[in-house]
Each structure stands twice: as C-alpha cells, then as structure tokens.
C-alpha cells in the first residue's frame, strides 16, 4: 500500500473528505498491523464553522488543527471515547476531517461504526494526537486496488448546537456499506 503524501492533505477539507472514502487507515501497534477501509467521514471547515472545535480559536486542545496538514487530531469525548480527525488545508486554517466509520480489513477487532468505536478497534488514543500521518506505523494509504465509491451526502451527526452549520451536507459515506454508522 502506498502512503498518502502531504500534498493529499493540503487541500480543502471537503475535497479531502471525499477522497478519503475507500482509503485505508493503517496503525501498527504492539507488532500488529491494523487496517480499516474508511467508509464514513465528516468535514469541519475551520474557525468560521460553528461545529468545528477550532471555532473557539486556538487552544492547547486545538493547536494541532492550526498546524500543518496531514497530522492526527485525536481528542476524548464523554471522558470515554477517543475520536480522530485528519488535519487538512493550509497551515493556520484549522480545518479537519473526522473519521466516522471503517470497514475492517485486517486485525481489527470490535465494532467500527462510529468515531469512538473506530478508535477503540484501531488502538487509537491521545498518544497519537499530533502524529504525522506521512510517517510510518500510523498513516492513510491508497488501497492495493481502487474500488468504485458511490458517495452519499448528509448533515453531520451530533452538532445541533451549531445553528445552520448543523444542516450543512458535510457528512459523506459510501452508499450501501454495512459499516456506516448512521445511514
């Protein structure tokens, strides 16, 4: 599998979100290579997007989002679940793509339908916050064979507080894939 390069991530979040569908998330941990096919994502467009964590400006938590593209933004929700975003666009823009669901490919145990479950199954936690996704052991790659993807657009999940941003069609998933969290 060929790892994606920095130029892939250095584009608007919506473009990266579309192109992440069907790619492979790879995490080598404890000598085990876990691989999952990305089947659902959400785009967060920067500080003007009221659903984005960056809407409150740069904080110790969101600093990674303002950094260079191609890094992992990993955070904890409800004190239980980790979630992973891929930082996109130019440095300082603070946009990202949340990985919402994976189709297990290799060595992935447990459910992967939802960002917290995905992280648990892939052994992703805060230790990977800020990790460079262009490096070894934790990266996104093109699959060995590209499979056709029919994309569905829907509103993001769980961002009702964000006013009109909650209704924007910024959640994308592969039509008919049984691993999508909320078809």
Partners of residue 101 on adjacent β-strands: 40, 113
Could you tell me which CATH class the domain 2-174 is placed in? alpha beta
Angle (CA) 181 177 170, round 5°? 55
Q: What does the radius of gyration of the chain's CA atoms come to, in whole angstroms?
A: 15
Q: Which residue shows structure tokens 């584009």?
A: 11
Number of residues written out for the chain: 183
Query: What tens digit of pLDDT does each residue of 92-137 get?
Result: 999 999 999 999 999 999 999 999 999 999 999 999 999 999 999 9
- The domains of the chain are located at 2-174
pTM for this structure?
Answer: 0.96
Query: What tens digit of pLDDT does each residue of 23-48 get?
Result: 999 999 999 999 999 999 999 999 99
Q: What is the helix (H) or strand (E) element at residue 74, kind and residue range?
A: strand 72-77
Cβ-count burial of 39 within 10 angstroms (0-12 exposed, 13-18 middle, 19+ buried)?
buried
């Amino acid at each position: 599998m060929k790892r994606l390069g920095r130029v892939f991530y250095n584009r608007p979040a919506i473009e990266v979100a579309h192109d992440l569908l069907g790619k492979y998330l790879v995490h080598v941990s404890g000598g085990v290579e876990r691989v999952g096919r990305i089947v659902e994502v959400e785009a967060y467009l920067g500080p003007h997007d009221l659903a984005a964590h960056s809407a409150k400006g740069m904080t110790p938590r969101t600093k990674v989002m303002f950094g260079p593209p191609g890094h992992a933004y990993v955070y904890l929700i409800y004190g239980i679940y980790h979630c992973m975003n891929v930082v996109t666009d130019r440095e300082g823009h603070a946009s990202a793509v949340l990985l919402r669901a994976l189709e297990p490919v290799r060595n992935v145990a447990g459910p992967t339908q939802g960002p917290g479950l995905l992280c648990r199954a892939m052994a992703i936690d805060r230790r990977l916050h800020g990790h460079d996704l262009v490096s070894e052991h934790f990266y996104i790659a093109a699959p060995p064979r590209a499979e056709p993807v029919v994309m569905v657009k829907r509103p993001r999940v769980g961002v009702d507080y964000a006013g009109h941003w909650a209704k924007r069609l910024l959640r994308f998933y592969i039509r008919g894939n049984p691993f999508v969290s909320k078809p």
